[in-house]
Structure 1
Amino acid sequence: MNLIGTKWKPLILFHLLEGGLRSGILQKQISGISNKMFTQTVRQLEHDGLITRKVYPVVPPKVEYQLSARGKSLEAILRSLDQWGLEDGKE
């Protein structure tokens, strides 16, 4: 739970299930997250080995995040949480 037990970590991981995303696109998909919190969270996820960060040497800078093998191992858990949320919201 220490690895994914915050408000934003599961959301970021869930959005990366379908593949890598550029930093700005990923942040826009997560409603309500501040720039500071986004940066903090992806750094923690990268430090914990759940996502990888690729920086492309272009101007303007391009950064892409994707799940690592360790992050991909959480897919069943993340999809189950999503399904539970959908079902719970119907009641």
Structure 2
Amino acid sequence: MEKCAPVLSACMQRMKGIQDALDILNGKWKIRIMAALTFGPKRFVDLQMIIEGIGPKMLSKELQLLELNGLVRREVVDNKPVGVNYVITEYGLTLETVIKELSHWGNTHRIQVMGKV
């Protein structure tokens, strides 16, 4: 049993990391918001248009949570009328590889199951 301890410890550590990530990115919207922002700053209405099915109340809530966790920041744009852009932070960009891999896997799975992209 002692020989299993390092493997068990590594497994448990991996599970803790996955749980922490899921706690931050849970739900059906946060990863989509982050994915949209990897392509550059977006206005609120742009995010609503890109992320099909999300309502303004939910988008606002999710953006606030992402901002609270340091993944997204609001930038006030000084024009008439004053606007707000949402920008992925440097810390948020550390998720870009995960988001790309998730997208790649999802597209591959779609082809596997449905035979089309």
TM-score scaled by structure 2?
0.73
Gaps (5+ residues) in structure 1? Answer: none
1:42 aligns with 2:63: yes
Alignment of 1:1-91 (within 5 A): 1-90=22-111, 91=113
Q: How far apart are 1:56 and its partner, in Å?
A: 2.2
Larger radius of gyration: 2
State percent identity of aligned pairs. 32
Gaps (5+ residues) in structure 2? Answer: 1-21
* Higher helix proportion (structure 1 or 2): 2
TM-score scaled by structure 1?
0.93
Amino acid at match of 2:94: S
Structure 2: how far apart are the matches of 1:59 and 1:11?
A: 29
Give me the CA root mean square deviation.
1.1
Per the alignment, in what secondary structure is the counterpart of residue 73 of structure 1? helix
Number of aligned positions between the proteins? 91
Q: How far apart are 1:27 and its partner, in Å?
A: 1.5
Q: How far apart are 1:61 and its partner, in Å?
A: 3.1
* RCO higher in structure (CA 8 A, sep ≥6): 1
